[in-house]
Amino acid sequence: MRTAILRRSLVALFAAAVTFGAVTAAQAETLRIGYQKYGTLVLLKAKGSLEKRLAAQGVQVQWTEFPGGPQLLEGLNVGSIDFGVTGETPPVFAQAAGADLLYVAYEPPAPTSEAILVPKDSPITSVKDLKGKKVVLNKGSNVHYLLVKALEDAGLKYTDIQTIFLAPADARAAFERGSVDAWVIWDPYQAAAEQQLQARTLRDGTGIVDNHQFYLATKPYAQQHPEVIKALIEEVRAVGEWSKANPDDVTRQVAPLLGLSADITRISVKRQGYGALFITPEVVAAQQKIADSFYQLKLIPKPLSIKDVIWMPSATVAKAP
């Protein structure tokens, strides 16, 4: 009797262990991607090529949309996603907060796809006129650095303006109400405000910021699944190259996803940078300047070393030509 009971107990324990192992394996075999309302990942999601490619490796793909880079990186930080894309500033804030992430790849500069906007009838005609004014932006987003550099270029201090931090939808509402004097924002919100509200561009990133888009992953995922990261960046690069050569096709595909007109979407599409590459020393140096600037302004609590959080492809993972 005791032998039979013991045998049944061992069988039950073995079954439970197998089940637990299967769940753990399933979690490991799911790539959870965070994306924003606009960008190359939207096109990759619509195309479905990544799912087909990774299926051969036994990996499923899950997609989660975020309203902005800071929110997406919070998702990375708490472990709800494994991979995502943001502007150049959110990773700096995330690293300063202790997030366990790695820079994986970047898109070429797109300095005109972010800007400081003012209402069409605003008396403000230059960045210098922002002194003492209310400026709304998404804290820690790519446009945070644009604002810092634009003020610096105009001879103003960051403390010379009143910053109001709101997510894009709320920021647009405040901008339309006239509750703020200027809005620092990125595409496609930028293009929509220019076309729908006739907002004027006070200053875009030309000559002062690169506005790189960065692909980031949690450190554990990148280290444990390098071949998945390799395949992912190759698919992102392929979609980007196709997009650069076919802006009208991209517009037709993306406009319904964004809920925007073709005219607005086309502007955004043409201003974006395409062709993801693995991180270079030059890009690391540019990102280090952002981190240093934010530390000097006391926007982050400690100095950072960007080179310490760069994922490097192994010898078996070929770099882009």
Q: Are residues 120 and 102 in the same domain?
A: no
Q: Are residues 169 and 115 in the same domain?
A: yes
Give the residue from 158, 186, 204 where a domain finishes: 204
Q: Which pLDDT value is given to residue 277?
A: 94
pLDDT, one tens digit per residue, over 31-76 is: 999 998 778 998 899 889 999 999 988 999 999 999 888 889 899 9
Q: Are residues 103 and 118 in the same domain?
A: no
Q: How large a percentage of the chain has pLDDT more than 70?
A: 89
Domain interval for residue 216: 31-108+212-309
Q: Does residue 12 lie within any of the structural domains?
A: no
CATH of the domain at 163: 3.40.190.10
Q: Are residues 158 and 185 in the same domain?
A: yes
Q: Does residue 1 lie within any of the structural domains?
A: no
Q: Are residues 102 and 115 in the same domain?
A: no
Q: Does residue 10 lie within any of the structural domains?
A: no
Q: Are residues 264 and 290 in the same domain?
A: yes
Give the residue from 204, 238, 266 where a domain finishes: 204
Handedness of CA 170, 97, 86, 285 (dihedral sign): positive
Domain count of the chain?
Answer: 2
Give the residue from 174, 204, 234 where a domain finishes: 204
- Residues contacting 302, CB < 8 A, separation 6+: 96, 295
Q: Are residues 144 and 277 in the same domain?
A: no
State mean pLDDT over 12-26. 38
Confidence of residue 258 (pLDDT cuts 50, 70, 90): confident
Q: Are residues 115 and 104 in the same domain?
A: no
Q: How large a percentage of the chain has pLDDT more than 90?
A: 77
CB 216 within 8 A of CB 104: yes
Q: Are residues 187 and 247 in the same domain?
A: no
Whose CA is closest to 163, among 128, 135, 203, 133? Answer: 135
Q: Does residue 20 lie within any of the structural domains?
A: no
Distance between CA atoms of residues 278 and 84, nearest Å: 15
Q: Are residues 55 and 118 in the same domain?
A: no
Handedness of CA 88, 90, 94, 96 (dihedral sign): positive
Distance between CA atoms of residues 249 and 268, nearest Å: 13
State mean pLDDT over 89-118. 95
Q: Judge whether residue 28 has pLDDT over 90.
A: no
Count of Cβ atoms closer than 10 Å to residue 205 Cβ = 23
pLDDT, one tens digit per residue, over 262-304 is: 999 999 999 998 999 999 999 999 999 999 999 999 999 999 9
Computed over every residue of the chain, the mean pLDDT equals 88
Beta strands in the chain (DSSP E): 30-35, 60-65, 83-87, 101-106, 114-118, 134-137, 162-165, 182-186, 200-204, 213-218, 277-278
State mean pLDDT over 208-227. 95
Distance between CA atoms of residues 301 and 28, nearest Å: 34
